[in-house]
Amino acid sequence: MEPRPLDWAAGPLVWVDCEMTGLDPRTDKILEIAVLITNGDLELVDGGISYIIRTDKEVLDKMGDWCQTTHGASGLTEACIESPYTKDFVQQQVLSYIKKWIPKERLGVLAGNSVHMDRMFLAQEMPDILEHLHYR
């Protein structure tokens, strides 16, 4: 049986986790975004998606010590330099993925461990995603 999109009764949640160059959404950038979608019973619809955004070395070199150390050790810094994916491409892919499972606007609720911070970055860099989701 083909999986079906989630409706209101399913209670869809869109779990988002972002890695950034720092904590200021006005000056820092999203480096990576991962998205999982569940129903209200926290059952995954599939394995989710994750994208690393191509980022210029000059931007990465301006990261603070914590980000330089952490993202360098994890390999994210190098992966950002090598990534083929632009921010606009990633926004479109993430939005398409969300719409596949939750076609109705403002039905899926944005969720996550650091959702408030991730939401501020999405508002600055990927507003189309936020426009499709509900925050509360």
Instruction: Supply the residues annotated as catalytic.
Output: 135
Alpha carbons 42 and 102: distance in angstroms, whole number: 15
Residue 90 has a CB neighbour count (10 Å cut-off) of 23
